[in-house]
Amino acid sequence: MRAATAMLANAAEVREGLLYVLGGGIEQLWVSELPAEVAPTVVVSVELGAADLGRSFDPHLVVTDPAGEALVDVDMPPATPERELGGDDGAALFPMVFTIGMPVVREGVHRLQLLVDGAELASLRFSVRLAG
């Protein structure tokens, strides 16, 4: 199991096994003042091997600010991939979408991590910036 794609987006959904993303690849969140509440959409596409199919796993999401303080530290709903392989290479893609509200109190680079069984599955960085 590994992350094939991880990004922030304006919006996303999974329907009939397909991932639809609107405004994907956000690297900066602009706010008018601090502290502020933001709610980016987290998009992760997980590449699964044959042994991972049909087996439930529990994603855990952590977001830290530039000072290393945890803004989010939450268990996400359990995920259970279907038992079908996606292609001829014995692997399947399993798309996941989370919208997560978080308070931001500092400008600068924040880090988002998606963990499974304590191991990092995906990591991305984004900046919080003051507008104007």
Sign of the dihedral defined by the CA atoms of residues 11, 60, 56, 83, in that order = positive
pTM to 2 decimals?
0.88
| All residues at 6 or more sequence positions from 19 whose CB lies less than 8 Å from its CB, including other chains | 12, 13, 43, 45, 95, 97
> What pLDDT is stored for residue 17 in this prediction?
83
| Sign for the pseudo-dihedral over CA of 78, 49, 40, 119 | positive
Q: What domains, with CATH codes, occur in the chain? A: 2-130 (2.60.40.2550)
- How many angstroms separate the CA atoms of 51 and 97, rounded? 22
Q: If we measure between CA atoms, which residue out of 132, 107, 110 comes closest to residue 123?
A: 110
Q: Return the structure tokens found at 5.
A: 């794609």
Q: Which amino acid is at 24?
A: G
Residue-level pLDDT at 88: 58
Q: What gap in Å lies between CA 32 and CA 18, rounded to an integer?
A: 35
Does residue 6 contact residue 125 with C-beta atoms inside 8 Å? no
What does the pLDDT profile of the chain (132 residues) look like in tens digits? Answer: 899 999 999 999 999 889 999 999 999 999 999 999 999 999 999 998 888 888 899 999 999 999 999 999 999 999 888 766 555 556 788 999 999 999 999 999 999 999 999 999 999 999 999 997
What distance lies between CA 53 and its chain's CA centroid?
A: 20
